[in-house]
Amino acid sequence: MPSILIVDDEVGIRELLSEILRDEGYTVRLAENAASARAARHANRPDLVLLDIWMPDADGISLLKEWSANGQLNMPVIMMSGHGTIDTAVEATRIGAIDYLEKPIGLQKLLAAIKRALTAQPSGGIKTVAALTLDAFPRSTVLRDLKKQLEQITARSRHLLLRVGSGSLAELTARSLPGRRSDAWLDLSAVSGPLDVELLQKHQGGAMYIAELSRLSKPQQKNLAFALERLERYDLRLVAATDQSADSLEATGWDAALLHRLFEISLPVPSVADVRDDIPDLAQQLLVHLVEAGEVPNRKLSTAALNVLRTHAWPGGYSELRAAVRSLALGTLEESIEHQDVHRMLDPQPAAPGLHLDLPLREAREAFERIYFDYHLRLENGNMTRLAEKTGLERTHLYRKLKQLGIQTGRRNENA
């Protein structure tokens, strides 16, 4: 039978709903607040969630928005409230809730709503995962401002040119277009033949994307011009990115009129290096999406692993970071991805060539110390006595230093 997660801060309501649903044959799990709901959802992947709106740590609407932004709203959610309004119900359904029930909830009404919600799931249990967008990073000032700029521009224009440099966040920005169909995404760079009206109709209400203008062939440039003239008719938006100027593109044979149209409205996009402090959040959200999509096994990034990712240069930008997270999740045998795993993938050579000299002194020193102690810890097979002798540190200070660097140690082989 399907599993149902009940999220409500009132113990009486949780127990009552749990008893009813277990009698109906459902597998039931309980959560008393948003924090426990996050943990339960991550651990067990329920088929449906009954979510109360008013909770002490975070309201249900905020949790619903969080799941939607994180790509985790791939199960039906039924909102519950004893003090709701029509506006609240409308907002919940707009975000992605499948139904809204007012307390006290009648038995037949509850069971009917659950049956409808589960029946509405795609056949075969396949759950689609929305693409990662800027909505997932409300704590980042740079990304939050970028989202506002995007909303302001796209409210008045159907096409936008992203001015990018090395390591850009162009795709994440393009995926964040407001008001588009999340399931309608057309990469014009992948269309090699002539673009026809049927393909535009299929993606109506969605977005078209070009990762780099300079890589388009002559036929693809004609496709771009064809699409640009039909954005309004098919309710489409076009986002193209480039690190080239209009003059340099024209020098390679691009049509001057087409370039003038494209470069009318542009937006500079930050690189991954520009949001270095947000890299841990980016990596964690990418991992969540990959796990939810079933592309990788259930894994977690340790704090030390996130610190290593944060100090990497990422010249390939967003796509390089996503590929790295995917490779780490697929290649790590344990549930937790540790800093050693990240080092082995990013810096397979000995320690010195892997250091990045463009880091601030404190970060460079920490990066070196992490590599240094990890190397000697493996060399001594985890023996802390020999490691203390090798490094010249007193044992208590050594443990404190390893903990500060996020290096996990076992107390085995102490005297071997």
Whole-angstrom Cα Rg for the chain: 25
Q: Residue holding tokens 């970028």?
A: 146
Residue 82 DSSP symbol: S
Q: What per-residue confidence (pLDDT) applies to 84?
A: 65
Residue of 33, 39, 105, 99 whose CA lies nearest to 62: 33
Q: Which residues contact 181 (CB under 8 A, 6 or more apart)?
A: 203, 204, 205, 206
3.40.50.300, 3.40.50.620, 3.30.70.240, 3.90.1170.50: CATH of 135-268: 3.40.50.300
Domains 3-125 and 135-268 are alike in CATH topology: yes
Contact 118, 48 (CB under 8 A): yes
pLDDT of residue 358: 66
pTM: 0.65
- Between vectors from CA 293 to CA 211 and to CA 21, what angle results, nearest 5°? 145
What are the extents of the domains in the chain? 3-125, 135-268, 274-404
Q: Output the DSSP codes for 358-391.
A: TS-HHHHHHHHHHHHHHHHHHHTTT-HHHHHHHH
pLDDT at 125: 44
Give the model's pLDDT for residue 348.
60
Give the pLDDT means over successive 10-residue stretches in the chain (416 positions): 92 93 94 91 88 86 84 87 78 86 90 90 54 88 95 95 91 88 86 92 94 94 96 95 96 96 95 93 92 87 93 88 93 91 76 61 83 78 80 86 79 44
**Domain 3-125: which topology?**
Rossmann fold (3.40.50)
The CATH number of 274-404 is: 1.10.8.60
Do 85 and 107 touch, CB atoms closer than 8 A?
A: no
Residue 391 CB neighbours (<10 A): 15
